[in-house]
Amino acid sequence: MTPTTPLSPVIIALDFAVRAELDALVDQLDPSQCRLKVGKELFTLYGPEVVKSLQQRGFEIFLDLKFHDIPNTTAAAVAAAAELGVWMVNVHASGGAKMMSAAKSALLVYGKDAPLLIAVTVLTSMHSDDLAAIGVAGNAQSQVARLAALTADCGLDGVVCSAQETPILRAQSSDDFLLVTPGIRPAGSDLGDQQRVATPLEAMTMGSNYLVIGRPVTRSADPLAALKIINQSLGY
Ligand SMILES: O=C(O)c1cc(=O)[nH]c(=O)n1[C@@H]1O[C@H](COP(=O)(O)O)[C@@H](O)[C@H]1O
């Protein structure tokens, strides 16, 4: 099936271990309402088959495996994601310029069919204190800005960051540089392990292009209603 491109910027994070729970959620969703993210848990359990089955339902897929390895290995992994026909794939910007450039080069052969390639800057579960503990000087915002500039220099399509950094990244980046923001929490919802958060509307107003949202929808008593409320709050 040809994928449907939704107007909504919402990407639902499908962090599930039980296939029946995943299917029960996806059965309720329509590709016009959101894109879907397949991450480490789902992919490790069910592999490429789960990606293909979601694509067959018409969804565009963000394959979130956050590759971080030597350039040759990362480039081959990104090419494998392109073979799967995913819409978006990511690497860790802290893998460095050689790794990101190799990943970008590996996608050239796919032309307009290449997935969007983005790089994770500083995980939204981290604060400046966590960075200090791993030897990164400065606060989260300055580290995100540094890694986003490196990512743009390597020709990638954008970054994963928190919505809190989007104003500074919008100011330093070209208009078409994508800012993909997890750590989205509708007002009143549980933060869980997320530290640098924003509501869906705040994130879009501050300059996000795509919102990655997991538990506030997937663990809601009524996931479809939760998604509809979020989309409506954004005018979709
Ligand atoms: O790359 C990601 O998607 C990602 C990067 C990041 O910095 N923070 C982050 O939370 N994510 C992912 O975004 C999703 C957020 O899920 P919830 O916290 O349940 O909304 C998870 O699947 C994370 O793996």
pLDDT at 1: 67
Q: Is 185 annotated as contributing to ligand binding?
A: yes
Measured from the CB, is residue 26 less than 6 Å from ligand 1? no
d(CA 234, CA 38): 23
Structural domains of the chain, ranges and CATH numbers in brackets: 10-233 (3.20.20.70)
At 52 the three-state DSSP class reads: helix
Mean pLDDT across the chain, nearest whole number? 97
40, 52, 66, 112: the catalytic one is 66
Minimum mean pLDDT range among 3-7, 85-89, 223-227: 3-7
Phi and psi based region of residue 207 (left: phi greater than 0; alpha: psi -120 to 50; beta: remaining)? left
Model ipTM?
0.99
d(CA 37, CA 65): 10
Do 93 and 147 contact (CB within 8 A), yes or no? yes
| Residue 111 reports pLDDT greater than 90 | yes
Q: For residue range 22-64, list pLDDT tens digits in order.
A: 999 999 999 999 999 999 999 999 999 999 999 999 999 999 9
Measured from the CB, is residue 60 less than 6 Å from ligand 1? no
